[in-house]
């Protein structure tokens, strides 16, 4: 599991769970950039927009920890 800081919360990324639906990459492309390092660029959208997108991840690969 990898983690990414987003203000007062932490984004968790579990690559083994990802089904590559690409929802995140297509719907919030300013943040989810699979060819960049880090691939989640939290500075490019609001916390609310990022959390809303994470909730749409169908596999549970992306989640938010308080
Ligand atoms: S939305 Fe979730 S399952 Fe789909 S590519 Fe992104 S992390 Fe993977």
Output the pLDDT for position 37: 97
Output the pLDDT for position 66: 84
Ligand 1 atom at shortest distance from the alpha carbon of 59: 3
Domain range enclosing 18? 2-65
| Total number of domains constituting the chain | 1
**Ligand 1 center–CA 19 separation, angstroms:** 6
The answer to whether 43 and 32 are in contact (CB under 8 A) is no
Residue-by-residue pLDDT tens, the chain, 66 positions: 999 999 999 999 999 999 999 999 999 999 999 999 999 999 999 999 999 999 999 999 999 998
Alpha helices by DSSP H, listed for the chain, are 23-27, 47-55
Q: What is the CATH number of the domain that holds 43?
A: 3.30.70
19 lines ligand 1 (CB under 6 A): yes
């Amino acid at each position: 599991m990898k983690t990414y800081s987003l203000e007062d919360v932490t984004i968790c990324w579990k690559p083994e769970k990802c089904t590559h639906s690409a929802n995140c990459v297509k719907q919030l492309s300013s943040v989810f950039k699979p060819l960049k390092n880090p691939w989640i660029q939290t500075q490019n959208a609001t916390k609310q927009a990022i959390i809303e997108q994470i909730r749409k991840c169908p596999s549970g690969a992306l989640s938010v920890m308080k």
